[in-house]
Amino acid sequence: MDVKGLHHVAYRCSDAKRTTEFYTRYLGLDFNIAVAENYVPSTGEWSPHIHIFFRMDDDSHVAFFEVPESPAMQKDAGTPEWVQHLALRVADMDTLLKRKAQLVADGIAVVGPTDHHLCQSIYFFDPDGHRLELAVDSSTPEMLAQLRTIAEPTLAEWAVTKRAPDVAPIHENARG
């Protein structure tokens, strides 16, 4: 496989300082790079911006751009807000619950923990409305092997019916 891992994922923020405070305080990420430029390196266009990076234990990064001369940020009105999110792995359930308690204590709404069988997750929004998920892996090798086996048939049935097939229900309690 040519792709070896995540280098960084980048989002937009409206205030780099506020974003830095949020991601270091609530996620414990290491703020380690800030690059401010007036021109976009890949296109050469004028667009003053700062690109901030937060390092994770595996040396991948979550990054943000503050672009003050661009129009205000907007959500995609056609996409449910639970769809687009950034899921970050935490070490264990104690860490997940500690982060949840900290968020709730500061008045940030948190959903979960939600049992996805593959993982246990909590969900919340950053100050710019980006949905975040903190997840603890709870999968087993057998579960992952089964899901890999049914991946192609699941996709094939979905492509035809646009409904979840009854091959390996992960969220049995969510079925109506």
Domains of the chain: 8-66 (3.10.180.10), 85-137 (3.10.180.10), 141-174 (no CATH)
Strand bridging mode 111-115 / 46-55 = unpaired
Mean pLDDT of 120-149: 95
Kindly report, residue by residue over 21-64, the tens digit of the pLDDT: 999 999 999 999 999 999 999 999 999 999 999 999 999 999 99
Output phi, psi for 70, to 5 deg: -90, 160
Q: What does the mean pLDDT of the chain come to? A: 93
Kindly report, residue by residue over 97-110, the tens digit of the pLDDT: 999 999 999 999 99
Q: What is the pTM of this model?
A: 0.90
Strand bridging mode 46-55 / 61-66 = antiparallel
- Where do the H-state alpha helices sit in the chain? 16-27, 93-105, 141-161
Mention every residue, 6+ apart, whose C-beta is less than 8 A from residue 114: 120, 121, 122, 123
Work out the end-to-end distance of the chain between its first and last CA atoms, rounded to an integer number of angstroms: 39
Mean pLDDT of 140-162: 92
- The residues with which 12 forms a beta bridge, in sequence order, are 65
